[in-house]
Amino acid sequence: MLMILLMITIGSSAQAQSITLKTGQKVDTLGVRRDRDIVMAKVQVGIGSGEVGYTVAQIAKIDFPEPRGLKTAADLLSQRQPDKALAEIEPVIAYYDGFKEVPGSWWSQAALIKVSVLTALHREADAEKLADKIQEAATDPTSARAIQVRLSSGLIRRKQFDKALAVCDAAIKQTTDPALLADAWLHKGDALAGMQQWDDALLAYLHLPVFYSDQNALLPPALLGAGRAYWRLEDLPRAKKSLNDLIGAYPNSPEAAAAQVQLRRMQTP
């Protein structure tokens, strides 16, 4: 069903969003909003503007620009500032909540960051409730696996290492997504370290600098984990190198401060 107030297709690339219909038609817009089951698109008509409505079932994709708060929240989370990250991601989730089942929406990505934020704040119950909502709205299996990997950090904190390993191993076997694979190997390293299986933990951590060196947010904890694993294996030269590489590459990260403490600890008789 198509509810038309005004409709015009314009070719300017400067518009806020564009809607691609399942018929192949593309509609450039000045903005969109949700009205129950209808996505209302604001379109330009001469020097004025009007709205045209489409049901969600008619829409193949909406090309939303990436929200600034997404990266800002992820950066704050990597800097161990979950309270500030939460403040940044909440408006993004609020805006995209009405579009979460529409292809092209950033809701799942924003909600996934919020799951990590809630986990970092030790609000596991809230994180699990949000994870359930993401799984209901997910249009691809990668999102569902990413949720479970993020939640595995809570399992590790509760010393449920076997469950965490099962989640990470399943993700590693079932996806080719680099970001998800890097996250899964990092959490697998943390679970194995918790079990004091240092050889296997080291191998897991080293997957990141070797195979996923572009995943910058995950490299500091991986290098820290590798340094600690080398130390536990009594390989002090490699332990020092890993920790010093971390400090040199990410001097302002919380992991760099932890690496400094670890190096001092290693030098203590």
Region 235-256: mean pLDDT is: 92
Q: What span, in angstroms and rounded, lies between the C-alpha atoms of 99 and 95?
A: 8
Give pTM, 2 decimals.
0.68
Region 53-58: mean pLDDT is: 88
With both helix axes pointing from N to C terminus, report the angle between 236-249 and 254-267 in degrees, rounded to the nearest 10.
Answer: 150
Could you give the C-alpha distances from 233 to 65, 166, 201, in angstroms and in order? Answer: 47, 25, 11
Given a contact cutoff of 8 angstroms between Cβ atoms, the answer to whether 219 and 252 are in contact is no
Query: Is the confidence at residue 190, as pLDDT, over 50?
Result: yes
Supply the pLDDT for residue 116: 85
Q: Is residue 235 part of a domain?
A: no
Supply the pLDDT for residue 142: 77
pLDDT digits (tens, 9 = 90+) for 134-160: 877 766 677 778 888 988 888 898 899
- How many Cβ atoms sit within 10 Å of the Cβ of residue 127? 23
Q: Is residue 224 part of a domain?
A: no
Amino acid of residue 248: G
Counting the structural domains of the chain, the total is: 1
Q: Is residue 115 part of a domain?
A: no
pLDDT digits (tens, 9 = 90+) for 78-88: 787 889 999 99
Supply the pLDDT for residue 98: 86
Given a contact cutoff of 8 angstroms between Cβ atoms, the answer to whether 155 and 117 are in contact is no
Closest Cα partner for 147 from 36, 31, 170? 170
Query: Is the confidence at residue 51, as pLDDT, over 90?
Result: no
Radius of gyration of the chain (CA): 22
Q: Is residue 78 part of a domain?
A: no
Query: Is the confidence at residue 93, as pLDDT, over 60?
Result: yes
Query: Is the confidence at residue 245, as pLDDT, over 90?
Result: yes
Region 180-186: mean pLDDT is: 95
Supply the pLDDT for residue 268: 63
Q: Is residue 198 part of a domain?
A: no
Supply the pLDDT for residue 12: 33
Q: Is residue 255 part of a domain?
A: no
Q: What span, in angstroms and rounded, lies between the C-alpha atoms of 24 and 82?
A: 41
pLDDT band of 173, cuts 50, 70, 90: very high
In which domain, by residue range, is 26 found? 2-62
Structure tokens at 118: 């809630």
